[in-house]
Amino acid sequence: MDEALDKVKQIIPHREPFLFVDRIVEQAEARIVTEREVRADEPQFQGHYPGSPLMPGVLLCEACFQTGAMLLSGAGAPPSDVMRAPRPQPDSSVQKRWRGRLPHWEKDSGIYFVTWRLADSLPEEERNRILSEREDIIRTAEHLARELTEDESARLERLHTEKIEELLNAGYGACYLKNDACAEIVADTLLKFDGERYDLYAWCVMPNHAHVVFQARPGHGLSEIMHSWKSYTAKACNKVLGRTGVFWMDESFDRLVRDEGEFRRFVDYTLGNPVTAGLKDWKWVG
């Protein structure tokens, strides 16, 4: 392993070693098949990646010296403080839990993409229409006494990622999180236990909703973390606004991130959401 690291450093001076997933990585438009498998949790590899998360099966490119010229023509590996690399997820089984009428998949130290929105963030008519479509999908599976098919699960996700997100980005409702004091409360709450209960990889507080990509730490589950975020911020924001009543919609959207492609897609989506929604100089993103 030391010999492999030395080879990489000889070709790419003053840059971190290249680590990647699935035996293939695209770097400076070059596709390089790696040769040596290493463990992502070895101390010398922590925080280094080529724009891809560290997952089980991370590989060290021992053959980089053969394509050094191609690599050097690009920007090289990004510095480790650009984006944090996820910790390896243990091979624990995925558990399905029901909250309300939706299935939620969880696992120990799972990586999640979650969206939570203000209680008035969707027009009532649109909300009822979406709920009706969602119920039709779920009832079909229940009537046939079977699990949701892949197609049905994908349709449920599209209801959120396409229809609901489009409505949210339109800025419907009171948009309490346009208030900097409220947005700061939510942002500070997310950051408070970062590195202790969970690891944040991307977050964005929008005028009427929030997105977070994070990895739960051992001993802390998705439900516990979400309840903590929503409970504290609801009380604190209501106090700032001088109001009472429901602040967040009870049900949140969450997605267990299953692979590198999903991780990168959700991080990109979260960080780019202000631009997508037409918000300029939006500071509540990180």
Distance of CA 264 to the CA centre of its chain: 8
Alpha carbon separation from 214 to 112, 114, 177, 178 (Å, rounded): 6, 8, 21, 23
Q: Scanning the structure block, which residue is given the tokens 């779920």?
A: 138
What global pTM score does this model have? 0.61
Separation between Cα atoms, residue 127 and residue 45, nearest integer Å: 46
Q: Which two tokens stand for residue 257?
A: 């991130």
Domains of the chain by range and CATH?
2-72 (no CATH), 95-119+174-276 (3.30.70.1290)
Separation between Cα atoms, residue 183 and residue 188, nearest integer Å: 9
Q: Which two tokens stand for residue 217?
A: 């730490």
HSE-CB for 66 with a 13 A CA cutoff = 10
Q: How far is the first Cα of the chain from the last one, in angstroms, to the nearest whole number?
A: 34
pLDDT at 257: 86
Sign of CA dihedral 200, 205, 206, 209: positive
Q: Are 221 and 107 in contact (CB under 8 A)?
A: no
Q: Which residues, including other chains, have CB under 8 Å from residue 202's CB and lie 6 or more apart?
A: 83, 211, 212, 213, 266, 267, 270, 271, 286
Separation between Cα atoms, residue 272 and residue 33, nearest integer Å: 31
pLDDT at 216: 93
Q: Which residues, including other chains, have CB under 8 Å from residue 1's CB and lie 6 or more apart?
A: 36, 38, 60
* pLDDT under 70: residue ranges of the chain: 1-106, 108, 160-162
pLDDT (tens digit, 9 = 90+) per residue, 163-218?
778 888 889 999 999 999 999 999 999 999 999 999 999 999 999 999 999 999 99
Q: Which two tokens stand for residue 34?
A: 């790696």
pLDDT at 72: 31
pLDDT (tens digit, 9 = 90+) per residue, 62-89?
333 333 332 333 333 333 333 455 555 5
